[in-house]
């Protein structure tokens, strides 16, 4: 369980997040949605102790993220930030392998190698294992980064816009994989998503932010309504139901 209480965050006087109270239950896929500048990435970064917490508290299974040793947190929580480029010339397998660092601290053992092999297979990266990351396409690189975070083998997996630069097939494949990781392995996945329909199709819960405030938080079916999306995005987004799936018709 990730518990966020009274969290506010400001950069140079500009409020990014205001008074967020939120509980993300263990297990399942939680999607973080909202318009640009809503504070989604900031919230994710605060949970992952990538930004310093200035007010409020965030706990992960009861551990305050800002006061728990970072090494201990690295065994419970993995994060893929929206960092963009990997400047280093590493092979895909090496990059993914660094996800195991919290476990082996520099001396990989057999179980670490097994975990890397599993991650490469799960994210369809086996054919690219020997390629240097800087020779990959944006989408391939993105998959490698997600695989690296997964490989860390933590209960909590936080992903900031993992679908960036993935084509529709790989975007869907990645969401299905996340779904499978949550279902079969009992991981808790929190994912910032741009596309509402990926959230609608694959997430158990949706948390919606707008201008730094929590606007909606609930099971996917409850959030995916025209009325709620109106509050989140400030505009009318029709929601249709096709084959039992709620689809936001945000392009019409």
Partner 1 sequence: MRRLLPAPAILGTALLLAALAAASLVIGVGDLFARDGTSGVSGLMLLLASRLPRTLAAILTGAALAIAGTVMQTLAKNRFVDPMTAGTGSSAALGILLVTLLAPGAPIALKALAGSAVAFLGTLLFLRFARDLPPTEPFLVPLFGIVYGGVVGAIAAAIAWEADLVQFLDVWMNGEFSGVIRGRYELLFVTALLGAVAFWAADRLTILSLGRATAVGLGLDHAAMLRLGLVIVALIAGVTVVTVGIIPFVGLVVPALIGRRVGDDVRRALPLTALLGAGLVLGSDILGRLLRYPYEVPVGTVLGVVGAAAFLAIVLRRARLG
- CB 150 to partner 1: min, Å: 12
Q: Does 194 bind partner 1 (CB under 8 A)?
A: no
- Where does residue 116 fall: left (phi above 0), alpha (psi -120 to 50 degrees), or beta otherwise? alpha
Residue 161 vs residues 19, 42, 145: alpha-carbon distances, Å: 23, 12, 11
**Roughly how many angstroms between the first and final C-alpha of the chain, as a whole number?**
38
Structure tokens belonging to residue 216:
């909606």
Query: How far is residue 163's CA from residue 166's CA, in Å, rounded to a whole number?
Result: 5
- Choose, by CB under 8 A, the member of 43, 53, 119, 149 that binds partner 1: 149
Q: Does 152 bind partner 1 (CB under 8 A)?
A: yes
Q: Does 10 bind partner 1 (CB under 8 A)?
A: no
Q: Does 73 bind partner 1 (CB under 8 A)?
A: yes
- CB 235 to partner 1: min, Å: 32
Q: Which residues contact 141 (CB under 8 A, 6 or more apart)?
A: 86, 133
Q: Does 97 bind partner 1 (CB under 8 A)?
A: yes
Q: Does 67 bind partner 1 (CB under 8 A)?
A: no
Q: Does 122 bind partner 1 (CB under 8 A)?
A: no
Q: Does 136 bind partner 1 (CB under 8 A)?
A: no
Query: How far is residue 106's CA from residue 118's CA, in Å, rounded to a whole number?
Result: 20
Q: Does 106 bind partner 1 (CB under 8 A)?
A: yes
HSE-up (13 A, CA, CB side) for residue 243:
2
Query: How far is residue 92's CA from residue 134's CA, in Å, rounded to a whole number?
Result: 9
- CB 234 to partner 1: min, Å: 30
Q: Does 94 bind partner 1 (CB under 8 A)?
A: yes
- Choose, by CB under 8 A, the member of 13, 71, 235, 252 that binds partner 1: 71
Q: Does 36 bind partner 1 (CB under 8 A)?
A: no
Say which DSSP state 135 is in.
G
Which residues of this chain interact with partner 1, rule CB under 8 A? 45, 48-50, 70-75, 77-81, 83, 85-91, 93-95, 97-99, 101-102, 105-106, 108, 112-113, 116-117, 132, 149, 152
């Amino acid at each position: 369980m990730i518990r966020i209480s009274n969290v506010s965050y400001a950069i140079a006087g500009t409020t990014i997040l205001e008074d967020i109270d939120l509980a993300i239950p263990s297990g399942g896929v939680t999607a973080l949605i909202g318009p640009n500048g809503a504070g989604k990435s900031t919230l994710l970064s605060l949970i992952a102790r990538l930004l310093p917490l200035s007010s409020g508290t965030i706990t992960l299974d009861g551990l305050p993220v800002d006061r728990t040793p970072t090494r201990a947190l690295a065994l419970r929580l993995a994060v893929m930030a929206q960092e963009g480029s990997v400047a280093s010339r590493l092979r895909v397998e090496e990059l993914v392998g660094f996800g195991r660092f919290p476990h082996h601290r520099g001396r990989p053992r057999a179980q670490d190698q097994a975990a890397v092999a599993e991650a490469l297979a799960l994210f369809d990266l086996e054919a690219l294992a020997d390629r240097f990351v800087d020779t990959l396409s944006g989408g391939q690189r993105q998959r490698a980064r997600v695989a690296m975070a997964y490989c860390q083998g933590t209960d909590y997996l936080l992903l900031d816009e993992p679908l960036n630069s993935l084509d529709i097939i790989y975007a869907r494949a990645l969401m299905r994989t996340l779904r499978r990781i949550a279902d079969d392995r009992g991981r808790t996945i929190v994912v910032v998503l741009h596309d509402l329909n990926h959230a609608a199709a694959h997430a158990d819960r949706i948390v919606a932010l707008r201008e730094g405030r929590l606007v909606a938080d609930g099971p996917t079916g409850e959030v995916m309504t025209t009325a709620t999306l109106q509050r989140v995005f400030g505009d009318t987004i029709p929601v249709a139901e096709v084959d039992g799936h709620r689809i936001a018709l945000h392009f019409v």
